Amino acid sequence: MAVIIDRRKNPPGKSLVNRQRFLRRAKEQIKAAVRKSVSEKQIRDVGNGEQVKARSKDFTEPTFRPDRNTGDHRRVLPGNKEYEPGDLVKKPPNGGGNTKGKKGSAGDDAEDDFEFTISREEFLDYLFEDMELPDFIKEAMKTIELTKPARAGLTTSGSPANLNVERTFRNSISRRIALNRPTDERIDEIRQELAAATDPKLIKELTELLEDLIARQKRIPYIDENDLKYNLWTPQPKPRSQAVMFCLMDVSASMGEREKNIAKRYFLLLYLFLQRKYEKIEIRFVRHTTTAQEVSEDEFFYGRINGGTVISSGLELIRDIIADDYPVSEWNIYMASVSDGDNSLHDNELVDQIMREDLLPIMQYVTYVQVDREDEDMINTYLFTYSDYSVWNTYSQLSQEFKNMECARVTDQNQIWKIFGELFAK
Amino acid sequence: MTLLFENADWTPEILERIYEECCRIGEEELKLTWYPNQFEIVSYENMLDVYSSVGMPMMYNHWSFGKSFINNSELYKAGKMGLALEMVLNTNPCVNYLMDENTATAQALVIAHAAIGHNSFFKNNYLFKQWTSADSIIDYLGFAKKYIAQCEEQYGIDEVEKILDAAHSLMDHSVDMYTKPKILSAREEREKQKMRDAAHEANYDELWSLIPNTKRAAELPTNRFLPNGPEENLLYFLEKNSPILKSWQREILRIVRKIASYYRPQAMSKTINEGWASTCHYYIMTRLHEKGLIDDGSFLEFIKLHTSVVFQPEYDSKYFSGFNPYHLGFSIFADMKRMSQNPTEEDRLWFPDYAGGNWVENWHYMYQEFRDDGLIQQFLSPKVMRDMKLFSFDNRENSRFYKIADIGNESGYKNIRNSLAYETSIGYRSADIQITDVDFNTRTCILTNFTSNNIMLDESTANKTLDYFRELWGFKVVLVTVDRQSNFELDRLETD
């Protein structure tokens, strides 16, 4: 007698621990891949099925094994066509592709580089580790959004609690009619007739009929398994609204590669946050020098233009875009802006005014990151930052007054998360 | 007779009936015995899991299993690799993994192949009888997994991983070739391991560490010797003699070499094992069809599966990747049946003891008493060599040409058979490495690689493996490659 066990219901992932052991070993390569992905991919695509190329040399499992390219061998092969003993056949150069010279190594495990995909979850783990995110933000980022069960038609199996009585009975009734199942009333009727009857012939007939009816009634169940219908519930994501995210960046010459890299991580983090909260997210990119322009993501991060800085131009453009495309009643509006703090003389007043009157009242959350240069000496920074040219004072003043505004100065990508502290602490 | 199944769908009841009928044919017509069978229906994901734990339902954790898991699943998902229809373990009861995607015909094929074919091989082949204990392997793996997990907890994953990495690299050279391993028992192992620990603790005396090393070294004789002669089981030697390992580390080496012993027969019986299993499935499926238990359509589906399994591309085909063990083994068994039933003059000359004999008895003798090289040496017939158009050639390192040595004709048959048998033997396929000497002054350990025909070790992997050996030994290690005949030193690798 054979034992048959159905293991399909066993969750796969017995190898999960081993997979993690492997990833642990491939850590550096995965980190590199994550970094590359963040800097090269569009914000929307980051983290979706990240390919990681693992160098084989870090994962060799060496053994003592004979090198088939050395020494003298006599080998046997199938499929002789025209060879006679003593024939000489020129060896292909370098052992040659799939011909005799290489045959010895067939079956030995060839150690090629191989690529594998890390899951989104794994990707985020490495990204966050790279950015040194504190735990409470990591947790918030990874929480799966809430679902609620929604009706999704009927099914033939389920728990008794979900039994759809009406449908079940509809089936039961039609089946009973179709199969001509005797009703209780009909049987009662015959019983009464039988009780009233006196003619032995009639009694016999009725008794037989009654037995037949009772037998039929037993054979055809009142409710058959086929009748059962259950309500089917499937988990549906809670209805979520839509959000638009404005990325505003000063692209004047003072913003270098390092600043832009930090900026990208900053925008990415906001995007990831919004992703777990909203179903539909639009991202608009606005860059500015002395004038503002809406651009594609590629241009946003990689285009270079020269010029001075008028921050208010960007804010004005965003205000206009909102007015055109995003009715405040339907959209949740977020803005993330980044600059090196440099602004034109007298523009700060305008910035203050637009923010205060037009933007902050309609936006969910506004963040401002000022990337400070690493190499700047302290005195310069001091003078520069607190000079009239800097927008820092304006923004930090606003952030103290408005609850939905946060700003931070960073010199390094690891500090970006601070700006989202408020957002995630909720 | 009613059909066992009518379309591709199957249910557990159908599987049971298929198994019943396969057993009937196996018992009554092929006179086979086997371990009780257990079937596990698995999805492709479960199957990938099984693949990467080297087929075992239970295995300790190591990144290399994760690597093969990732590798397999990437290949599978990219459509570059199909999964085997089944996977079977040499255990008692014998565990058969059946893919749930298989059609009813494919399930019948794999039941005949694995549950009857492989299983009877595991139970009756002399190699498996001698070398492995199907009854206790699962139990033992359970012990191993638990022990290694404990070590990880106690000493950290990194420390354990280091030992395992090193042990894995030496595992192929850690099987006793000449003595039969003791039957494994998890309980005994646990107790022994406890006793070893206890003895170690009881004998521990701080005083020993106070004796100055220099004095001891001076007292030792300067000549080198190994009291028990050369040792071919590298991990055994390290487990018993390494000056630096802690007792849990020795225990891990022990586990790895025990598992290596368990796998050794598989490596020596690929052709005969697969050949025998294919022979069984071919016979049983044909009989099921003849008995009217499967219909023509299903039989055709089987034939298609069978031919793709035993397909042997020729050497100049782009699909060629060496001998297909299924084909070679199946051909040898099939030819034995032919020559038993309809012997030719040639058969009577070559196989006087078997030609015209009882094919079932002949088959029994073949699958029970041989391993790959023996099977080829004894039973590869001229007809099979002709059918496969076998030829042999010399590949000399210093020549720009291959020289054809023998082709399938009267004067070539014997030579080709010898060459192929030698090529299939473990002696040719793996290096013969032994610990031959230890210098007690410097604690240098000397390994000798005995080779012939100037076949050298793959240097890059040999260096890395030697480093692993050094890690476990703790002192300098030298690997000398020596010609077996002349004792002439060909090469020397050293660690620092």
Specify the pLDDT at position A147. Answer: 66
Residue A102 pLDDT:
38
> Domain range for residue B482?
431-494
Task: Indicate the residue among B278, B304, B330 that finishes a domain.
Answer: B304
B83 vs B356 pLDDT, higher one: B356
Cβ of A2 within 8 Å of Cβ of B38? The answer is yes
Query: Does A91 contact B39 at a Cβ distance shorter than 8 Å?
Result: no
pLDDT in tens, B402-442: 999 999 899 999 999 999 999 999 888 899 999 998 887 88
Choice between B19 and B197, residue whose per-residue pLDDT is larger: B19
| β-strands B86-88, B432-439 pairing | unpaired
Residue A341 forms part of a structural domain: yes
A172 lies in the same domain as A256: no
Are A198 and A321 in the same domain? Answer: no
- Asked whether the predicted pLDDT for residue A109 surpasses 50, the reply is no
Query: Residues B424, B436: one domain?
Result: no
- The answer to whether the predicted template modeling score (pTM) of the entire model surpasses 0.80 is no
Q: Answer whether A65 touches B (CB < 8 Å).
A: yes
- Looking at the complex, does the CB of residue B410 fall below 8 Å from at least one CB of chain A? no
Q: Are B416 and B315 part of one and the same domain?
A: yes
| Domain match, B422 and B446 both | no
So what's the pLDDT on residue A69? 86
Domain residue limits at A363: 242-425
Among A334-348, B296-310, B317-331, B438-452, the range scoring the smallest mean pLDDT is A334-348
A416 and A323 co-located in one domain: yes
> What is the signed CA dihedral for B30, B34, B36, B39, rounded to 10 degrees?
-70
- Here the tokens at position B180 are 């039969």
Distance CA A370, CA A116 (A): 37
Query: A385 pLDDT band (50/70/90 cuts)?
Result: low
b/e code B77-88 from CB counts within 10 Å (16+ = b) = eeeeeebebbbb
State residue A423's pLDDT score: 62
pLDDT score, position A145: 55
Q: What is the pLDDT of residue A425?
A: 58
- Enter the DSSP assignment of A163: B
B221 — pLDDT class (breaks 50, 70, 90):
very low
Minimum mean pLDDT range among A85-99, B130-144, B167-181, B310-324: A85-99
Does B402 contact A100 at a Cβ distance shorter than 8 Å?
yes
* Predicted confidence (pLDDT) per residue in A68-88, tens digit: 888 899 999 999 998 999 999
Provide the pLDDT confidence category of residue B203 given band limits of 50, 70 and 90: low
What is the per-residue pLDDT for B346? 94
Domain count, chain A: 3
pLDDT-derived band at B470, boundaries 50, 70, 90? very high
Q: How confident is the model at residue A107 (pLDDT cuts 50, 70, 90)?
A: very low
Tell me the residues of chain A between 146 and 175 that have a Cβ less than 8 Å away from chain B: none
Q: φ and ψ at A419, to 5 degrees?
A: -70, -20
Mean pLDDT, rounded, of chain B: 87
Q: How many C-beta atoms surround the C-beta of residue B250 within 10 A?
A: 21
Query: How does strand A331-339 pair with strand A365-371?
Result: parallel
Those of residues 84-123 in B touching chain A at CB distance below 8 A are: 93, 100, 115
Q: Give, in order, the Cα–Cα distances in Å from B322 to each of A63, B314, B371.
A: 21, 9, 19
Q: Whole-angstrom Cα distance, residue A237 to residue A252?
A: 42
End-to-end CA distance of chain A: 61
Interface contact A79-B401, CB threshold 8 A: no
List Cα–Cα distances, A233 to A72, A152, A153, in angstroms: 71, 5, 8
State whether B424 and B439 are in the same domain: no
Tell me the mean pLDDT in the region A118-124. Answer: 79
Average pLDDT (A320-339) is 86
Q: How many CB pairs below 8 A link A and B? A: 269
Are A219 and A249 contained in the same domain?
no
Residues B344 and B385 in one domain: yes
> Which pLDDT score is estimated for B65?
86
* B197 lies in some domain: no
Nearest chain A residue to B49 by CA distance is: A15
Q: State how far the Cα of B132 lies from the Cα of A371, in Å rounded to an integer.
A: 67
**φ, ψ at B433 (rounded to 5°):** -115, 130
CA A348, distance to chain mean position in Å, is: 39
Residue B416 has its nearest CB partner, among A24, A72, A76, at: A76
Burial (Cβ within 10 Å: 0-12, 13-18, ≥19) of residue B47: buried
Q: How confident is the model at residue A240 (pLDDT cuts 50, 70, 90)?
A: low
Asked if pLDDT for residue B200 goes beyond 80, the answer is no
Say what the pLDDT of residue A378 is.
52
Q: Which sign, positive or negative, has the C-alpha torsion B322, B328, B330, B331? A: positive
In a domain, A214, yes or no: yes
Here the tokens at position B184 are 């494994």
Instruction: Output the pLDDT for position A112.
Output: 57
pLDDT at B201 over 60: yes
What is the rounded average pLDDT of the residues A212-235?
A: 87
State the nearest Cα–Cα gap between B449 and chain A, in angstroms: 9
How many Å apart are CA A422 and CA A403, to the nearest integer? 9
Beta strands, E only, A341-398: 365-371
Separation of alpha carbons A9 and A89, rounded Å: 57
CA distance B382 to chain A (A): 13
Q: DSSP letters of A304-322?
A: -------HHHHHHHHHHHH
> Does B300 lie in the same domain as B344?
no
CATH number of the domain to which A380 belongs: 3.40.50.410
Q: Please give the pLDDT value at position A338.
A: 86
Whether complex ipTM tops 0.85: no
Measuring CA to CA, how many Å separate B38 from each of B10, B46, B94?
Answer: 17, 16, 6
Is the CB of residue B41 less than 8 Å away from at least one CB of chain A?
yes
Q: Where is the domain boundary, B428, B456, B475?
A: B428
Nearest to A158, CA basis, from A223, A234, A229: A229
Instruction: Please report residues of A whose CB lies closer than 8 A to that of B420.
Output: 76
**Is B387 within the bounds of a domain?**
yes
Residue of A nearest to B418 (CA): A76
Count of domains for chain B: 3
Q: A26 by DSSP, 3-state: which?
A: coil
Put simply, the answer to whether A20 touches B419 (Cβ < 8 Å) is no
Average pLDDT over residues B260-282: 92
Residues of B with Cβ-Cβ distance to A82 under 8 angstroms: none
Q: With a CB-CB cutoff of 8 Å, which residues 170-229 of chain A face chain B?
A: none
Domain annotation covers residue B207: no
Spatial separation of the C-alpha atoms in residues B274 and B254, rounded to whole Å: 30
Q: Nearest Cβ partner of A64 from B67, B400, B465?
A: B465
Structure tokens at B423: 């090529």
Q: Residue A147: inside a domain, yes or no?
A: no
Q: Would you state the pLDDT for residue B466?
A: 95
Does A5 lie at the interface with B, CB-CB under 8 angstroms? Answer: yes
Q: Is A99 on the interface with B (CB under 8 A)?
A: yes
Where does a domain end: A232, A265, A288? Answer: A232
Kindly tell me if the per-residue pLDDT of B95 is higher than 50: yes
Same domain for B314 and B417?
A: yes
Q: Are residues A223 and A336 in the same domain?
A: no
Question: Cβ distance B428 to B436 under 8 Å?
Answer: no
Output the six-digit token pair for B120: 């009877």
B380, B399, B428 - which closes a domain: B428
**Cα–Cα distance for residue pair B272/B372, rounded to 1 Å:** 5
Q: Which residue has the higher pLDDT, A202 or A388?
A: A202
Mean pLDDT of the B227-247 span: 89
